[in-house]
């Protein structure tokens, strides 16, 4: 494989202006998705009233309260969580060189969820600032265990072995979490919607609590893109280009833990976003992580917000958790990727 001076495979070089304009278009689509999330929900509100609530909020008007106090925080949470999951998916696929890797499929989100349940159901913690640390611990432990299980044997950590290990471990963690919930009715009542992955209980305090960790994880992810490009050329080529493999992997693992732990603590375990978005971004950018990571950062919230809107309108006046919607979309995609694993996009 040949490489450019920037450490990117020669076959992956795209027109920078085209990629830049594509990112601008994706940003515009993100703004549109955010407005859609604010304007559309299980309760029908005229679009004029929606804009009036945003510009001239009046707490005496019920529709204004719905828009300002419910939909706006929900949309902000979708933006933060979506960005975190998209970045985490791009990073974990790069670090494992596995296009089937996803924080949800590999059990990382479920590990973070179990950490939150332990914090709430056993330790009695209720503040996001307190239980987010349990989410980080659960995410990190799950990632290490899944990789250790998937790497056993002669084949090593192949894409399919990691996926199978992650799915099996996810079911184990899921069962432990359900056992905690069934023995504590108060915890079950509080977190039953959260456990399926939902933006419905958006709390500004939760957003503020996880935002610093998301910002740090995002900064690390963006800063690692040149190193990820070099490692994509192979271990020896990466070393020749001056990349410290161990340092890159440790920083990547820290970023994935921060992003997944924060996202799961805020909205519950949401799967497949980290799989679908980097896959779609790679079709646009090629394997150049200098562009793939920013595209994942922008495209993932679009997917999450649109999925959340679909969940709100398909069963009016009730709603379906966004985690269920992304699973319905993502599960068939996973089957297609596994069946075509010999023709997966180059990482």
Q: Are 270 and 197 in contact (CB under 8 A)?
A: yes
Q: Is residue 5 part of a domain?
A: no
Q: Is residue 53 part of a domain?
A: yes
Q: Which of 5-9, 140-144, 238-242, 315-319 has the highest mean pLDDT?
A: 140-144
pLDDT, mean of residues 178-207: 72
CA distances from 271 to 29, 223, 240 (A): 22, 25, 36
CA distance 303 to 307: 6
Indicate whether 317 pLDDT > 70. Answer: yes
Indicate whether 77 pLDDT > 90. Answer: yes
Q: Is residue 6 part of a domain?
A: no
Count other C-beta atoms under 10 Å from residue 180's C-beta: 17
Neighbour-count burial of 188, counting CB atoms closer than 10 A to its CB (0-12 exposed, 13-18 middle, 19+ buried) = middle
pLDDT, mean of residues 156-164: 68
CA distances from 132 to 135, 222, 254 (A): 5, 22, 14
- Rounded to two decimals, what is the model's pTM? 0.83
Retrieve residue 239's tokens.
């070393």
- Range of 175's domain? 13-343
H, E, C per residue of 164-217: HHHHHHHHHHHHHHHHHHHCCHHHHHHHHHHHCCCCCCCCHHHHHHHHHHHHHH
Q: Which of 84-88, 111-115, 127-131, 285-289 has the highest mean pLDDT?
A: 84-88
CA distance 102 to 89: 5
CA distance 326 to 308: 9
User: The domain spanning residue 241 has which CATH number?
Assistant: 1.10.3470.10
Better pLDDT: 2 or 136: 136
pLDDT band at 339 (very low <50, low <70, confident <90, very high): low
pLDDT at 1: 43
- What's the gap between Cα 233 and its chain centre? 26
Q: Are 184 and 117 in contact (CB under 8 A)?
A: no
Q: pLDDT averaged over the chain? A: 82
Better pLDDT: 225 or 191: 225
Better pLDDT: 285 or 6: 285
How many domains would you assign to the chain? 1
pLDDT at 10: 47
């Amino acid at each position: 494989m040949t490489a450019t001076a920037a450490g990117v495979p020669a076959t992956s070089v795209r027109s920078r202006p085209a990629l830049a304009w594509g990112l601008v278009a994706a940003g515009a689509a993100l703004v549109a998705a955010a407005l859609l999330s604010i304007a559309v929900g299980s309760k029908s509100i005229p679009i004029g009233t929606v804009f009036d609530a945003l510009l001239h909020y009046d707490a005496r008007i019920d529709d204004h309260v719905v828009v300002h106090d419910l939909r706006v925080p929900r949309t902000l949470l979708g933006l933060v969580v979506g960005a975190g999951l998209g970045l985490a998916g791009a990073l974990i696929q790069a670090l494992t060189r596995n296009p089937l890797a996803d924080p949800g499929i590999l059990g990382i989100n479920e590990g973070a969820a179990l950490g939150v349940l332990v914090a709430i159901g056993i330790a009695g913690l209720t503040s996001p600032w307190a239980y987010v640390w349990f989410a980080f611990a659960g995410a990190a432990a799950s990632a290490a265990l899944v990789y250790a299980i998937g790497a056993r044997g002669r084949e090593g950590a192949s894409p399919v072995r990691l996926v199978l290990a992650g799915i099996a471990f996810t079911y184990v963690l899921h069962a432990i979490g359900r056992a905690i919930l069934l023995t504590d009715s108060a915890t079950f009542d509080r977190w039953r919607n959260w456990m399926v992955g939902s933006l419905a209980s958006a709390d500004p305090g939760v957003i503020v609590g996880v935002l610093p960790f998301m910002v740090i994880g995002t900064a690390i992810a963006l800063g690692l893109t040149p190193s990820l490009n070099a490692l994509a050329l192979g271990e020896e080529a990466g070393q020749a280009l001056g990349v410290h493999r161990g340092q890159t992997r440790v920083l990547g693992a820290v970023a994935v833990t921060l992003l997944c732990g924060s996202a799961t603590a805020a909205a519950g375990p949401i799967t497949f976003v980290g799989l679908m978005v980097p896959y779609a971004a790679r079709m646009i950018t090629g394997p150049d992580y200098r562009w793939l990571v920013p595209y994942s950062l922008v495209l993932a919230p679009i997917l999450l917000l649109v999925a959340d809107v679909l969940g709100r309108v398909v069963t009016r006046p009730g709603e379906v958790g966004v985690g269920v919607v992304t699973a319905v979309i993502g599960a068939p995609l996973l089957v297609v990727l596994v069946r075509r694993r010999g023709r997966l996009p180059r990482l």
